[in-house]
Amino acid sequence: MSLAARVSDPTSHPRLVSLIDHARSRPPLSAAVVFPNDEISLRAAMSSLMAGSMKPTLYGNKRVIESLARDHEAINDIAIVDTGSEPREAARAAVSAVRRGEHTALMKGSLHTDELLQAVLDRDEGVRTQRRLTHTFVFDLPGYHKLLAVTDAVVNIAPDIETKADALANAIDVMRTLGVARPKAAVVAAVEVENPAIAATVDAARLCELAATGRFGDAIVEGPLGFDNAISAEAARIKGINSSVAGDPDVLLVPGLNAGNILYKSLIYLGAGECAGIVQGARVPIVLTSRADSEFSRLASAALASIMASQAM
């Protein structure tokens, strides 16, 4: 059976290949896979984690997992924690193990994202931090000259200013960890001028003020910018925008889930892009998976989680 919707050509995405190679060059870390109780999530987790320098421990229904994996020799070397047939129990057990320091990353199996994130966010038993949970994609795009982080295209539906600030901080952390000393972030909206009728433009101005107070460390935050003048210095020049971020951002903060999600899928399906994605804001990075992800994308996500986890240790 095929796990991947799209067959990706890694030669088109050399920057993500480098990221994967970088993760592989490090000693393996331990990741908890939460409820990999169908063949897609089980095989995806095993192959991507192991290839991406993560040692998986599986939390789920042991009998089902062993049945699903009976043809794969690798299963004999993988720890399985039997948490029965209830996905929430697998999430609770995996998160508890993370609390005890047993794992440095989480990966979603065949449970709903909400079920996993609820366990992560539990006030008594979870692995919350001061920051909200936000999702960051790191894109390798044939039409752009370097890796580009996009946040938040997956988790927060209508982020308020504090959630946007955390999303920005989390994505800036990623790019800093990937070697960008002073990340440039563009807060994008439909237009590049502040307009009270478009809340995203007002939030953008506020985020620039927060940046000036040092909230994001050594980073340059500008906005509102249109997607055109964020991504193209020439488009910014024509519109008379004087910006050191325009045409060269490391991070794009989008206005909300609809805009971000549609953008991310357009970059994959019509922009020939590939991406790695993680949820940040918990004590450890979390890898979500979608059935439509390519194998390459799964591998890149595991590698990104591994790099972020090792940096946090």
Residues in the site for a copy of itself, rule: CB under 8 A? 5-6, 141, 143-144, 157, 188-191, 197-198, 200, 226-229, 231-232, 234-235, 238-239, 254-263, 265-273, 291-292
Q: How far is the CB of 164 from a copy of itself (least distance, A)?
A: 13
Rg (CA), the chain: 19
Are 126 and 120 within 8 A, CB to CB? yes
Q: Which is nearer to a copy of itself, 252 or 309 (CB)?
A: 252
Q: Of 245, 51, 240, whose CA–CA distance to 149 is shortest?
A: 245
Q: Are 54 and 286 in contact (CB under 8 A)?
A: no
Of 87, 49, 102, residue with least CA distance to 287 = 49
Residue 207 C-beta: closest distance to a copy of itself, Å: 15
Contacts of 268 (CB under 8 A, 6+ apart): 6, 274, 275
Nearer to a copy of itself by Cβ, of 96 and 232: the residue is: 232
User: Which is nearer to a copy of itself, 56 or 223 (by Cβ)?
Assistant: 223
- What is residue 76's DSSP assignment? G
Nearest distance in Å: CB 274, a copy of itself: 13
Complex with a copy of itself: residue 59 or 139, whichever CB lies closer: 139
Pick between residue 46 and residue 267 the one whose CB is nearest to a copy of itself: 267
Residues 6+ apart with CB under 8 A from 45: 33, 36, 56, 58, 107, 109, 289
How near is the Cβ of 124 to a copy of itself at its closest, in Å? 25
Closest CA to 200 of 152, 262, 235: 152
Query: Could you tell me the smallest distance in angstroms from the CB atom of residue 135 to a copy of itself?
Result: 12
